């Protein structure tokens, strides 16, 4: 949001007036001294012109230096702001991956209906978070050079997680029933054809192609632009 520049303070205004007054007095004193030295006024005007020219050159050079310095500082500030925004998106994608990897590890560690229910619900909660990352990226035009590739990878991960939610909705009743009857979770998976969670736990082809590959596509592009590798 842009705002109008602040008006000069009273101190600044007084300083400018004082400087102008001193300059006028200095010129008047110089003219008087030239008269005392019996020098022609043309010599005084020539000296005054030379001084004014030197002062003008100094002001112009100083102004140009200030413009260049200000431009460099503004460019650096914009670069740092952009870099921080990129890092924030990387942190969000990393948090997504940590949640998915934790769900996979816990499912394999416990292999129980209880853990499946807990982690399936966590993955269902995670999907809108990934959707928000994708939507925020779409609104952040030009943040990454490979932005379209990153968004494409995230959208594929969203669809992958959506299938986990569908399988949970379709199967949680059977899983609960088998659990109460003392059925092993692995037996329930095989009998009911819960292919998503089975492939997910095993790190199978679907997991590799639809999650790991798309994670590398999105996070890899981000890392390259943030760290240059």
Place of tokens 């997910």: 200
Q: Which residues contact 123 (CB under 8 A, 6 or more apart)?
A: 99, 100, 103, 161, 164, 165
What are the C-alpha distances in Å from 141 to residues 53, 76, 217?
Answer: 48, 19, 19
Q: What is the pLDDT along the chain (229 residues), one digit of tens a residue?
A: 344 444 456 666 676 676 667 666 666 666 665 565 566 666 656 666 666 666 666 767 776 776 677 677 676 777 778 889 999 999 999 999 999 999 999 999 999 999 999 999 999 999 999 999 999 999 998 899 999 999 999 999 999 999 999 999 999 999 999 999 999 999 999 999 999 999 999 999 999 999 999 999 999 999 988 887 5
């Amino acid at each position: 949001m842009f705002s109008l520049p602040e008006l000069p303070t009273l101190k600044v205004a007084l300083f400018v007036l004082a400087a102008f007054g001193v300059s006028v007095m200095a010129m008047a004193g110089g003219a008087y001294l030239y008269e005392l030295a019996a020098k022609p006024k043309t010599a005084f005007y020539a000296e005054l012109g030379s001084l004014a020219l030197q002062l003008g050159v100094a002001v112009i050079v100083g102004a140009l230096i200030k413009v260049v310095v200000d431009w460099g500082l503004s460019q650096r500030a914009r670069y740092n702001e952009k870099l921080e925004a990129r890092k924030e998106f990387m942190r969000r994608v990393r948090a997504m991956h940590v949640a998915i990897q934790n769900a996979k590890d816990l499912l394999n560690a416990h292999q129980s209906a209880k853990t499946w229910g807990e982690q399936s619900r966590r993955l269902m909660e995670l999907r809108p978070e990934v959707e928000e990352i994708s939507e925020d990226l779409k609104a952040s035009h030009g943040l990454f050079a490979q932005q379209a590739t990153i968004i494409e990878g995230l959208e594929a991960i969203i669809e992958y997680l959506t299938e986990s939610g569908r399988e949970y909705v379709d199967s949680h009743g059977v899983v609960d029933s088998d659990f109460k009857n003392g059925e092993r979770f692995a037996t329930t998976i095989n009998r009911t054809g819960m292919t998503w969670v089975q492939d997910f736990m095993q790190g199978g082809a679907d997991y590799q192609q639809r999650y790991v590959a798309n994670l590398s596509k999105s996070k890899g592009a981000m890392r390259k632009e943030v760290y240059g590798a």
